[in-house]
Structure 1
């Protein structure tokens, strides 16, 4: 008969979770780092102080860098704003330069020709070019004549009586007002129609005789 072979079998060794955690160096180091300072030994306290000092130095360096970056941003924004303000009217000036050229041509033309008609046509053309340039930049005139007086856009310099116009109506315009992108640049100086003054009723005595009380 065949003999049965004897097999040596070792049962698995049970591990204790608590013992494994204690034997793990990483967990042990983390546990040591989270221990209260009162339970640390002097060497551990020195190591903790060194670690915190290095972290503090890194944080301070990051703070200085962020402050320097913020200062650079402020300086750059200030420089860009100054540059923008310096050349903000560049497009408007470019529109006005051809108008100056037309004025110079009109003056030169008047020196050779005394015709007032040619001078008037040149000035009218220059005025139209100037008005067109201002309109492109958002400038528009304030409506005045025939409109109701508006203190937000009109400045009354005189009052006149006019039976055809109602009280508060603008009759004349001495100086035009202008808006820039719907914001008032200057008010229009106008003459306003005033309300008709009613004469107080007077008791007339047709005979011109003074009435006196008769003493009884």
Structure 2
């Protein structure tokens, strides 16, 4: 028993001596002994400061990478939102274009109908001009006059109006000059006679006034 204890003490002393000598030579840092012993006891690999820094760098790099990466759901939502916005804009443009075309078609159709009614109005006016002064109170003439006035009122309510010509300055946008006359009393380029009335529907000319222009 005594010899066995002496041998164990000698081994311990030798180990302690070896550790001290290794520490002095810088082979095993004192602060790393405990970590090394724990690593040996648990079987875990010994880590160094460089490896820890590298691992921290990888973790941080991976963290920022995951943070900057968009979620597929968010990308899908953005894509669908963009498509919906584009479709709404296209539909709005289509609606405006359709309304404009519908309005233009309606105006063209209305002008066509009005143009066909104007000769009827001309005939009414020629008929009234041919009536003698003594027969203007005739019931038949009075009835025709009421029909004429009702027709003109209906056209006026629909947006039809007569173009002013007599005494106005000639304007090629509204008047059609078929004659010129020298008249010292009339002003320059003034309409002195109207042969056929002109009409407008809203802001567009249905028929130009047929006129005589002075000077």
Q: Which TM bucket (shorter chain)? A: 0.3 to 0.5
TM-score, normalised via structure 2 length: 0.44
Higher radius of gyration, 1 or 2: 2
